[in-house]
Amino acid sequence: MSLTAVQTSVSESQLKLVGVNGKAKTEVAEEYNGSYRFAPIEEAQVTRAMIKRYFNTMYERAISDVVIVGAGSAGLSCAYSLASQRPELKVTIIEANVAPGGGAWLGGQLMTPMTISSAKLVSHTKTKAPFVVVKHAALFTSTLLSRVLSLPNVVLMNATTVEDLITTTDFQGQQRVAGVVTNWTLVALNHDTQSCMDPATITAPVIVTATGHDGPMGAFSAKRLVSMGFTKQLGNMRGLDMNRSEPAIVNGTREVVPGLVMAGMELAEHDGSNRMGPTFGGMIGSGIKASCPAAHEALRILDASQIVGGKVVGKVQV
């Protein structure tokens, strides 16, 4: 239900006459001297607007091209790289926390600067160090979030958790990850306190999982692959070694089982590689770098597959 301006102001400080649903006109003033007045609004309008936008999005994204599980530095970097390179793709990000960004809001030991090891970044600065220091981690993360969310083909569903993976037998007779099982995070955390609260699903030909190292919601897909019998056991993340961990994460990013690409620190839990600690180049590179990154892997799978209704039904004949 729209507001209709029946008189156009010459300046922002002048009064405007606004009609609401054909009712009496009310003066609206953009004055900052104690006389600011808003247009009237009905509470039901706000609720309906939110419901319509959100559930239309859920309906439309029930079939996506790529689902990214986890909106940390690896997941967001992957989303930006994918969605900007291929604007026709529906990229849907699922984040369990209310606040996306993962552990990238702070550096080490709750300090605010962030270090990023990146040859490209270092080459554009005057530093002699093999890394760049961002003055505040939140500057990097908020900028990346803004860039990702401004892309029209990206949807972020935060406060939403992936409770399980959809699996199916594909056209070659092999087991394939074919989507995610979702629920509100608060529901997922309370399954033991309430009766059954069933989930919803999103189907996609490619899932990129970047849920971080082990924790309350971390390494979800890596652990679920073990419990489902796709892999025998977790590799378990090794001790901190920055020189070994960052290239291991970037170079190791790959399709670990059909339909599931693993990136970031979750890969360290899966493979048993080292942790990197408070440096973020490997996680960012795992999302976007051109050697063997999540975005590259996702595009490789998409371009090689025949997809119908969000499901891989065959291979593209070259």
- The answer to whether residues 72 and 101 touch, using CB atoms and an 8 Å cutoff, is yes
| Dist CA 160 CA 143 (whole Å) | 22
pLDDT of residue 59: 98
At 208, is the pLDDT very low, low, confident or very high (cuts 50, 70, 90)? very high
pLDDT of residue 293: 64
Count of CB atoms situated within 10 Å of the CB of 78: 33
Mean pLDDT across the chain: 85
Count of CB atoms situated within 10 Å of the CB of 91: 30
The pLDDT tens digits for 7-23 are: 333 344 444 555 555 55
Report percent pLDDT > 70 for the chain: 83
pLDDT of residue 76: 93
- The answer to whether residues 76 and 144 touch, using CB atoms and an 8 Å cutoff, is yes
The pLDDT tens digits for 192-202 are: 998 889 999 99
Mean pLDDT of 175-191: 95
Q: Helix H segments across the chain?
A: 43-60, 73-85, 119-123, 137-149, 185-188, 220-228, 242-252, 265-271, 281-288, 294-304
At position 157, the amino acid (one-letter code) is: M
Adjacent-strand bridge partners of 165: 180
Q: Which single residue is written with the structure tokens 């990238």?
A: 104
Count of CB atoms situated within 10 Å of the CB of 295: 29
Residue 92: is its pLDDT beyond 90? yes
Nearest alpha-carbon partner for 7 in 27, 22, 21, 23: 27
- The answer to whether residues 35 and 48 touch, using CB atoms and an 8 Å cutoff, is no
At 29, is the pLDDT very low, low, confident or very high (cuts 50, 70, 90)? confident
Nearest alpha-carbon partner for 76 in 283, 268, 233: 283
- In degrees and rounded to multiples of 5, residue 200 shows phi and psi of -120, 180
- The answer to whether residues 269 and 213 touch, using CB atoms and an 8 Å cutoff, is yes
pLDDT of residue 1: 38
pLDDT of residue 292: 40
At 103, is the pLDDT very low, low, confident or very high (cuts 50, 70, 90)? confident
Q: In CATH, what number does 63-315 get?
A: 3.50.50.60
pLDDT of residue 26: 60
At 27, is the pLDDT very low, low, confident or very high (cuts 50, 70, 90)? confident
| Dist CA 174 CA 153 (whole Å) | 31
Q: Helix H segments across 61-208?
A: 73-85, 119-123, 137-149, 185-188
Of residues 6 and 215, more confidently modeled: 215
| Dist CA 78 CA 65 (whole Å) | 14
Write down the pTM of the prediction.
0.86
- In degrees and rounded to multiples of 5, residue 306 shows phi and psi of -90, 125
Q: Which single residue is written with the structure tokens 């378990």?
A: 236
**How many residues in the chain?**
318
Q: How many alpha carbons lie under 13 Å from residue 300 in its C-beta half-sphere?
A: 16
- The answer to whether residues 263 and 93 touch, using CB atoms and an 8 Å cutoff, is no
Mean pLDDT of 238-257: 89
Report the first-to-last Cα separation within the chain, whole angstroms. Answer: 51
Nearest alpha-carbon partner for 217 in 67, 62, 71: 71
pLDDT of residue 5: 38
At position 153, the amino acid (one-letter code) is: N
Q: Could you give the C-alpha distances from 81 to 91, 218, 266, in angstroms and in order?
A: 11, 23, 19
pLDDT of residue 296: 84
